[in-house]
């Protein structure tokens, strides 16, 4: 025992000496930090942003973007993970934490003096699991209702007045749909899953979600879920699934001047804030006469007005990152209001920082973009809740939604099956 104690004493003394000499401050020796980004249509712009960190600190930052989905897991499990990983959404953060691949961030937040009160509540929620913070939101998306004013006027509707309720939206959609004598659809009022699923928004308007609010309980077969899918189903059964599918098959490519909303084929759509930004409607269809408003609530629940659902960029620190102090400092820099404003003004995405939202650059994106910024402060702003099962469960819900909308299947029957399969899995995962 004396020999062991003596060895430990020597090691402690060496440690103290190294610390006094700066030997333990590995962060000061960091020359290069690696940031891997899952998204990124303009990698050069992202690199230019991080070059500012280099100018401020002398530490070079190497950006890899976009990172293919199948490269993320190898990046985290390999021997040389990045110092910071930027994910497209928070879906995977909790699964990665469960597997020990990313860090809980309380220590990094404290070390970087990150102002948690500056985050909008909704996007931060996707990163929380109880008291744990497993990622930080860095920009976010939200969805609202777009309507074509010229098509409204042609259908005898007031072009300045969008539907005020979900029931009225159905009525407007009927008036805005044009069907030929042979049943062929020539123009349609609304397609609920165009350009992709928006069940998260609809189910919130019906008062629920597929998880309980704390994310601990599965509610996949709850009444709000059944209501949300039944409400969507009517837009297909009313005109015939085959007719709607045939009509949709002729749509122009997303993000092109021939996209259906731009081309006057779809009168109302649910879309994100980026549509109002410089790369979409102003560039592709500047003459388009349209409006933007929050998606309307059910008539019997006006208190749900202003409902939006946030999901967007989430930043994690890999558990194998070589220098956690350096990663934490870079994370704090990324979350500063000035950097959030610069990055997400450029991309016409929503800031997760309240202070960043005050930057004049967001005002310059126009009144329609401001609709989304204002909705971030809504009492009915929610996040897409995530759990360690999100990736697997989302696939199952997506398959069920497709069957419900395109085959007329009973929503309750399919949702009951998902509840039975995944409820025990979630209980086990949450342990």
pLDDT for the residue numbered 17: 34
Q: Residues of 337-356 as b/e, b for ≥16 C-beta within 10 angstroms?
A: bebbbbbbbbbbbbbbbbeb
- Burial (CB count within 10 angstroms: exposed 0-12, middle 13-18, buried 19+), residue 62: middle
Question: What residue ranges of the chain have pLDDT lower than 70?
Answer: 1-28
Name the nearest CA neighbour of 32 among 342, 334, 330: 330
Cα 416–chain centre separation: 27
Name the nearest CA neighbour of 293 among 184, 370, 354: 370
Q: 354 CB contacts (<8 Å, ≥6 apart)?
A: 118, 119, 120
pLDDT for the residue numbered 422: 98
Strand partners, 102: 318
Q: Which pair of structure tokens corresponds to residue 291?
A: 């409006």
Torsion of CA 203, 204, 206, 211, to 10 degrees: 70
pLDDT for the residue numbered 243: 95
pLDDT for the residue numbered 16: 34
User: Quick one: residue 370, left, alpha or beta (phi over 0 = left, psi -120 to 50 = alpha)?
Assistant: alpha
Name the nearest CA neighbour of 186 among 261, 245, 122, 265: 265
pLDDT for the residue numbered 236: 97
From CA 366, how far away is CA 369, in angstroms rounded? 6
Q: Which pair of structure tokens corresponds to residue 257?
A: 């001047």
**Domains annotated on the chain, with CATH:** 28-140+311-383 (3.40.190.10), 143-304+389-430 (3.40.190.10)
pLDDT for the residue numbered 7: 31
Neighbours of 23 (CB within 10 A): 12
pLDDT for the residue numbered 431: 79
Alpha helices in 177-265 (DSSP H): 199-205, 223-237, 241-248
From CA 114, how far away is CA 91, in angstroms rounded? 23
pLDDT for the residue numbered 23: 35
- Find the angle CA(271)-CA(272)-CA(273) to the nearest 5 degrees: 135
Task: Summarize pLDDT for 180-237 with one digit per residue, the tens.
Answer: 988 899 999 999 999 999 999 999 999 999 999 988 999 999 999 999 999 999 999 9
Task: Summarize pLDDT for 127-186 with one digit per residue, the tens.
Answer: 998 899 999 999 999 999 999 999 999 999 999 999 999 999 999 999 999 999 888 999
How many residues appear in the chain? 431
């Amino acid at each position: 025992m004396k020999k062991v104690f003596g060895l430990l004493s020597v090691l402690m003394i060496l440690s103290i000496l190294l610390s006094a000499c700066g030997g333990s401050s590995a962060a000061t020796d960091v020359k290069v930090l690696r940031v891997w980004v899952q998204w990124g249509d303009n990698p050069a712009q992202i690199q230019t942003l991080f070059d500012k960190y280099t100018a401020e600190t002398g530490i070079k930052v190497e950006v890899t973007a976009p990172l293919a989905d199948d490269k993320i897991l190898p990046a985290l499990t390999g021997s040389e993970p990045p110092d910071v990983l930027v994910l497209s959404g928070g879906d995977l953060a909790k699964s990665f934490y469960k597997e020990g691949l990313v860090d809980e961030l309380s220590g990094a937040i404290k070390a970087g003096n990150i102002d948690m009160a500056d985050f909008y509540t909704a996007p931060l929620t996707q990163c929380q699991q109880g008291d744990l913070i497993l990622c930080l939101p860095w920009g976010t998306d939200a969805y609202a209702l777009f309507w074509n004013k010229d098509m409204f006027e042609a259908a005898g509707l007031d072009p300045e007045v969008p539907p005020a309720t979900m029931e009225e939206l159905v009525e407007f959609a009927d008036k805005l749909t044009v069907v030929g004598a042979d049943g062929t659809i020539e123009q349609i009022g609304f397609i609920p899953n165009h350009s992709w699923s928006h069940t998260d928004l609809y189910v919130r308007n019906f008062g629920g979600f597929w998880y309980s609010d704390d994310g601990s309980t599965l509610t996949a077969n709850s009444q709000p879920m059944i209501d949300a899918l039944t409400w969507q189903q009517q837009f297909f059964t009313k005109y015939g699934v085959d007719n709607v599918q045939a009509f949709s098959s002729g749509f122009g490519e997303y993000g092109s001047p021939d996209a259906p909303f731009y081309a006057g084929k779809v009168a109302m759509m649910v879309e994100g804030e980026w549509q109002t930004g410089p790369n979409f409607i102003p560039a592709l269809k500047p003459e388009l006469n349209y409006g933007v408003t929050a998606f309307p609530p059910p008539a019997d629940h006006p208190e749900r007005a202003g409902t939006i659902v946030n999901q967007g960029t989430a930043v994690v620190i890999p558990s194998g990152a070589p220098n956690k102090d350096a990663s934490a400092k870079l994370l704090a820099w990324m979350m500063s209001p000035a950097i959030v404003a610069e990055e997400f003004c450029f991309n016409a995405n929503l800031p997760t920082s309240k202070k960043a939202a005050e930057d004049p650059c967001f005002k310059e994106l126009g009144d329609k973009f401001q609709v989304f910024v204002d909705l971030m402060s809504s009492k009915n702003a929610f996040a897409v809740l995530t759990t360690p099962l999100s990736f697997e469960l989302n696939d199952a819900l997506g398959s069920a939604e497709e069957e419900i909308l395109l085959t007329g299947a009973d929503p309750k029957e399919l949702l009951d099956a998902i509840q039975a399969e995944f409820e025990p899995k979630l209980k086990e995962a949450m342990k």
